[in-house]
């Protein structure tokens, strides 16, 4: 699998979104490496208070998240301005439409197209994956609250795509990479928004 260099002269940002445990970090690292894009871990930009709140088993609310979302958008904007940066892959749960709008707004005057890949999985799969993960502040009992806030992208979010992430990492990664390739080739008319 390799992307024709002629499609990479367009800068792009891919936000890997979805609830805790869906596999955002795993997918973002894979895509960044394949595309030779920079990778930004959105969780690293949470203020300490947010991490403490989640670690103590309390879900974040909108007020907790706005500043963090502007941090995420700002970090991308800064990096996109660097001529050496070809593109970015960023993990950011971006559970709600309004959160994705903050990211869009932050980047609207920056070079590069913005895309969202939503990693969709059932509650059972998310619980299984968060339980299997050791030493992480986000525990399996937070999955319910993540899913309560999750607003899956609908057809009107033309820059957002849904990927079923219940497959093995290898299968999910192939699906995601094929999708990215289609997006970068600008053949949006061929792209179905559910994979």
Ligand X SMILES: Nc1ncnc2c1ncn2[C@@H]1O[C@H](COP(=O)(O)OP(=O)(O)OP(=O)(O)O)[C@@H](O)[C@H]1O
Residues binding ligand GCO (CB under 6 A): 20, 43, 46, 60, 65, 93, 95, 138, 146
Indicate which of ligand GCO, ligand X, none lies near residue 100 (CB less than 5 to 8 Å, by partner kind): none
Nearer to ligand GCO, 148 or 158 (CB): 148
Indicate which of ligand X, ligand GCO, none lies near residue 129 (CB less than 5 to 8 Å, by partner kind): ligand X
* Binding letters toward ligand X, positions 137-176, x by CB under 6 A: -x--------------------------x--xx--x----
Structure tokens at 76: 């991308």
Helix (H) or strand (E) segment spanning residue 40: strand 38-41
Non-local CB neighbours of 33 within 8 Å, separated by 6+ positions: 39
CB of residue 183 to ligand GCO, shortest distance in Å: 24
Non-local CB neighbours of 177 within 8 Å, separated by 6+ positions: 1, 30, 31, 34
Non-local CB neighbours of 16 within 8 Å, separated by 6+ positions: 24, 27, 28, 31, 89, 90, 91, 92, 117, 119
The residue ranges that bind ligand X (CB under 6 A) are: 20-26, 43, 91, 129, 132-133, 138, 165, 168-169, 172
């Amino acid at each position: 699998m390799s992307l024709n260099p002629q499609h990479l002269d367009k800068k792009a940002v891919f936000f890997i979104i979805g609830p805790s445990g869906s596999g955002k970090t795993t997918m973002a690292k894979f895509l960044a490496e394949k595309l030779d894009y920079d990778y930004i871990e959105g969780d690293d930009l949470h203020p300490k208070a947010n991490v403490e709140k989640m670690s103590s088993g309390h879900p974040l609310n909108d007020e907790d998240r706005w500043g963090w979302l502007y941090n995420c958008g700002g970090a991308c904007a800064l990096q996109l301005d660097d001529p050496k940066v070809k593109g970015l892959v960023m993990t950011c749960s971006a559970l709600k439409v309004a959160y994705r709008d903050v990211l869009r707004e932050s980047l609207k005057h920056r070079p590069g197209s913005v895309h969202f890949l939503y990693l969709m999985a059932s509650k059972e799969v998310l619980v299984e994956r968060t339980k299997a993960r050791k030493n992480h502040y986000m525990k399996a009992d937070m999955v319910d609250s993540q899913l309560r806030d999750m607003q899956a992208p609908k057809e009107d979010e033309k820059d957002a795509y849904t990927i079923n992430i219940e497959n093995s990492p290898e299968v999910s990664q192939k699906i995601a990479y094929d999708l990215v390739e289609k997006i970068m080739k600008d053949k949006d008319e061929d792209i179905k928004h559910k994979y």
